[in-house]
A and B are shown apart, each in its own frame.
Chain A
């Protein structure tokens, strides 16, 4: 399980970096999303995966009796997912507006020297 996740997160990071290095704006967006998901899985894997033991104390005891799944990485991932959701939706709207204005998907075309009228 861990090996599979490690492979997936390596793949996500590699694909994300590759896509960000392209010149297309859509690929930039996809690359950002893949990197975000890769980071989330990374946190998940590094928080030590424990199967089938939720961090809930049985009513009869005061403390944990056994190894339990660490809830903090999950809380972190949840926060990170919400944040990257917000960022991604903003990025989509921004890139769509830029596409409508510049009429090009190429990041190299974003160099209009116009800088007056503020």
Chain B
């Protein structure tokens, strides 16, 4: 079904950014525009989600070129779910950054670049053309470079060098892979590629090409041997930026892997083993890295890496139940990780530091805020009724039926280490008596009340979303069920894209 609404989330962000560029130095106007634009974007994304959930896959041929020749945009349920989650995160981060960010950074164009970044994310989720996916990846990384360096402190720039070098390298791998893929098949449309790749005789060549994609997306999504840029750069930018990065950017890599490996390179035994080894090592190294960190954001960075491994493992097992687990974990992870970095920013406002050794006593001083934070932390750990628990059920179930015992061990170790570091963080930051406060500055107390509310509101909103995912897991399971069915059997996707020719 052809529908022009697919592009609406992209255009909302694009126009928000352009209008903001016109009020370059008026930061107050930019703040209103940003929150307003994000709200409209959220509503549009919700509408699009409903349409796709009820009506099935929507497509749009750019400039009315027929499917395999022009660029096609496809909104299947996986895409629109991620667009919806991105919009929720964008709304929360937009509110948070309008009060939590220094005016200096806003003057250098934080808000327009932020909206360009979200536009790139929406585009990457919605496009059905692999070269277009590359272009949207570039939109994402160039915006993220600017956001990462905004402010120009020494640590930020140092982190940005590593981030930039690794991400450009990832793009080069991706581009090389696309080049070879085009040479083999002569097509760039993902649905068309899915059909044509089956007719290729030289299976070894396809296996090598898929390695380029594994490396390219692996760097983006921070998997084991390729993740070292992440913990050495994500602790440097302001919290609002880190929240966008931590919650959304690595997940684009996971999305791209899900898409490419379900449509084009159906995992064979070699790819499965490779992905499984990567997943296990990612979980273990991420978990052990998190054990020794005392800075909250460095700890969260390693937890991102650890939990990426859970999803890669789901892709490696590549069955319906495993993909349900991976997609559910993706949904849960976007909500929780974004919120964690916002919480880190709030703690920074309350105490002036993010070092656990210097923090303490937040619970006695701010019991209500602590309660909201507790919900998020429990969800991350996966205490049964909350959101982190449900995807693990699917992952464990499938791992047992496929006898992936190393993965089960890694899942258990990863979950326990997460529990341990979160419990440690809770007791250090919230329960422990505050250490002698030398140079401790509370930036939160002198703020006017409306700013305080605006700062806690996004965290509360995201916590509510997390609670909804956890307590109403049945609805999410229904959605992930449809998504994984579509991923396992891409014929609906292919028909939706290429079937337009007969109209």
**Of A32, A76, A102, the contact of B182 (CB 8 Å cutoff):** A76
**Closest CB in chain A relative to B169 CB, distance in Å:** 7
Complex contact B153–A90 (CB within 8 A): no
Complex contact A94–B149 (CB within 8 A): yes
Residue interface bits B159-202, CB-to-A below 8 A is 1, else 0? 01110110011011001101110110010100000000000000
What residues of A have a CB within 8 angstroms of the CB of B180 in the complex?
Answer: 42, 46
B residues with CB within 8 A of A: 131, 135, 138, 141-142, 145-146, 149, 152-155, 157-158, 160-162, 164-165, 168-169, 171-172, 175-176, 178-180, 182-183, 186, 188, 235-239, 295, 297-298, 348, 353-355
What residues of A have a CB within 8 angstroms of the CB of B355 in the complex?
Answer: 116
**Closest CB in chain B relative to A49 CB, distance in Å:** 11
Complex contact B179–A102 (CB within 8 A): no
**Closest CB in chain B relative to A71 CB, distance in Å:** 11
Complex contact B172–A36 (CB within 8 A): yes
**Closest CB in chain B relative to A12 CB, distance in Å:** 11
Complex Cα gap A48–B183 (Å): 8
Q: A73-B182, A110-B158 are in contact. Are A117 and B153 (CB under 8 A)?
A: yes
Residue interface bits A88-118, CB-to-B below 8 A is 1, else 0? 0011001101100110000100111011111
Residue in B closest to A13 when the chains form the complex, CB atoms:
B176
What residues of B have a CB within 8 angstroms of the CB of A110 in the complex?
Answer: 158, 161-162
What residues of A have a CB within 8 angstroms of the CB of B135 in the complex?
Answer: 79, 83
Complex contact B154–A72 (CB within 8 A): no
Complex contact A28–B165 (CB within 8 A): yes
**Of B158, B162, B295, the contact of A112 (CB 8 Å cutoff):** B158
Complex contact A94–B158 (CB within 8 A): no
What residues of A have a CB within 8 angstroms of the CB of B172 in the complex?
Answer: 32, 35-36, 39
What residues of A have a CB within 8 angstroms of the CB of B165 in the complex?
Answer: 20, 28, 32
Complex contact A115–B152 (CB within 8 A): no
With an 8 A cutoff between CB atoms, is A80 at the interface?
Answer: yes
Residue interface bits A20-64, CB-to-B below 8 A is 1, else 0? 100001001000100110010011011110000000000000000
Complex contact B179–A111 (CB within 8 A): no
Complex Cα gap A2–B459 (Å): 58
**Closest CB in chain B relative to A111 CB, distance in Å:** 7
Complex Cα gap A98–B158 (Å): 7
**New A-B contacts (11) at CB < 8 Å, excluding given A39-B176, A48-B183, A114-B154:** A42-B179, A47-B183, A72-B188, A73-B182, A86-B142, A90-B142, A91-B168, A110-B158, A112-B155, A112-B158, A115-B235
Query: What are 11 contact pairs spanning A and B, CB under 8 A?
Result: A20-B165, A47-B182, A76-B131, A87-B168, A90-B164, A94-B145, A94-B160, A98-B161, A115-B155, A115-B295, A118-B237
